[in-house]
């Protein structure tokens, strides 16, 4: 009897994002396999993988991250036990990136802790538009794993190009941190940009000002941000812009976190359309990341021994 040969490269994914992980496998010309998770009544998880290739790409976005991180740890261990020599994590949305310092005495620096945890499990980590603010380079928080931070901005720009939007549309970033995204999306289309200022007083409490907002009067606006969580940032910005005479407001984001209360709240604020990349599965997904992720996997594998 002959032992079946395992492929040298395979993509494994979890149940919440099978289509996205499949698409990545297709773009890599590699087989796809599910990682099974059984949840015990006491809340513990049992993780099971079906064989392991020499190189395994594990696909999982880390929105709603706490259970997912533990399951990733168990999956990485099972894959290594199964013979995987190289593990690459493709995590289009990387969690805990906004807590990149202790803002108050006694707080954990979550970014450093979580990236250190993943660094121990994987040989390489690929993500998309991580919220790098005070940390300028993703590799500075991954001490040993190869880390690639990709940007979806060119894909969002291509999406706007394909939609053939009015040439006088203004792209608006709601706060200083969004400047990098809004400028990168606007540049290829030579669109006008406005960038606001935000003060956050709590999880759902933000105060926004948009210097130069009078330029939005009589024009359509598209708000651009890296992530929508509670939606309060973009709802606040949209209200100001519509009050200032904008003819319509839409939203384009890289990561649309999946809170069902957010889309209706954004619509109440006057936002007519939401588009996002498929980093987190959501009805608003309009941009596929798989081809860009596959290029990055090939690049990273060329650099790993």
Instruction: Name the site residues for ligand R5P (rule: CB under 6 A).
Output: 174-175, 177-178, 206, 225-233
Instruction: State the nearest-atom distance from the C-beta of 206 to ligand R5P, in Å.
Output: 6
Nearer to ligand R5P, 110 or 229 (CB): 229
Q: Of 172, 195, 177, which Cα lies nearest the Cα of 133?
A: 177
Nearer to ligand R5P, 3 or 66 (CB): 66
Q: Of 78, 58, 54, which Cα lies nearest the Cα of 5?
A: 54
Nearer to ligand R5P, 75 or 152 (CB): 152
Instruction: State the nearest-atom distance from the C-beta of 75 to ligand R5P, in Å.
Output: 28
To the query of whether residue 198 is one of the catalytic residues in this protein, the response is: yes
Would you tell me how many other CB atoms lie within 10 Å of the CB of residue 295?
15
- Rounded distance between C-alpha atoms, residue 215 and residue 226, angstroms: 23
Nearer to ligand R5P, 33 or 224 (CB): 224
Instruction: State the nearest-atom distance from the C-beta of 98 to ligand R5P, in Å.
Output: 6
Nearer to ligand R5P, 73 or 193 (CB): 193
68, 85, 112, 198: the catalytic one is: 198
Instruction: State the nearest-atom distance from the C-beta of 144 to ligand R5P, in Å.
Output: 28
Instruction: State the nearest-atom distance from the C-beta of 203 to ligand R5P, in Å.
Output: 7
Instruction: State the nearest-atom distance from the C-beta of 99 to ligand R5P, in Å.
Output: 11
Nearer to ligand R5P, 89 or 257 (CB): 257
DSSP letters of the chain?
-PPPPPPSEEEEE-GGGHHHHHHHHHHHT--EEEPEEEE-TTS-EEEE-----SEEEEE---SSHHHHHHHHHHHHHHHHHTT-SEEEEEESS-SS-S--S-SSTT---HHHHHHHHHHHH-SEEEEES---SS---GGGG-SSSEEEEE--HHHHHHHHHHHT--TTPEEEESSGGGHHHHHHHHGGGT-EEEE-EEEEEETTEEEEE-TTGGGGTTSEEEEEEEEESSSHHHHHHHHHHHHTT-SEEEEEEEEE---TTHHHHHHHTTEEEEEEETTS--TTEEE--HHHHHHHHHHHHHH--
Taken in order 241, 246, 248, 250, the sign of the CA dihedral is negative
Catalytic residues: 198
């Amino acid at each position: 009897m002959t032992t079946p040969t395992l492929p040298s490269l395979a993509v494994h994914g979890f149940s919440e994002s099978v289509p996205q992980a499949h698409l990545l496998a297709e773009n890599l010309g590699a087989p796809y396999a599910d990682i099974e998770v059984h949840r015990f009544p006491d809340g513990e998880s049992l993780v099971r993988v079906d064989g392991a290739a020499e190189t395994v790409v594990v696909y999982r976005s880390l929105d709603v991250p706490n259970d997912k991180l533990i399951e990733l740890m168990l999956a990485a261990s099972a894959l290594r036990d199964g013979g995987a020599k190289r593990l690459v994590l493709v995590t289009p949305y990387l969690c805990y990136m906004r807590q990149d310092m202790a803002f108050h005495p006694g707080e954990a620096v979550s970014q450093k802790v979580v990236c250190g945890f993943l660094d121990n499990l994987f040989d390489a980590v690929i993500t998309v538009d991580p919220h790098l603010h005070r940390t300028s380079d993703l590799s500075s928080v991954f001490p040993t794993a190869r880390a690639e931070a990709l940007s979806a901005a060119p894909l969002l720009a291509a999406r706007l190009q394909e939609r053939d939007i009015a040439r006088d549309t203004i792209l608006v970033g709601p706060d200083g941190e969004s400047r990098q995204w809004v400028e990168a999306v606007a540049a290829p289309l030579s669109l006008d940009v406005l960038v606001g200022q935000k003060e956050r007083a709590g999880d759902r409490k933000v105060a926004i000002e948009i210097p130069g907002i009078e330029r939005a009067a009589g024009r359509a606006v598209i708000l651009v941000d890296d992530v929508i969580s509670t939606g309060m940032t973009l709802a606040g910005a949209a209200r100001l812009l519509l009050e200032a005479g904008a003819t319509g407001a839409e939203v384009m984001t890289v990561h649309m976190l999946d809170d069902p209360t957010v889309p209706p709240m954004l619509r109440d604020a006057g936002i007519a359309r939401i588009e996002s990349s498929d980093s987190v599965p959501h009805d608003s997904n309009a941009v596929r990341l798989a081809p860009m992720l596959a290029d990055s996997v090939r690049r990273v594998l060329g650099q790993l021994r």
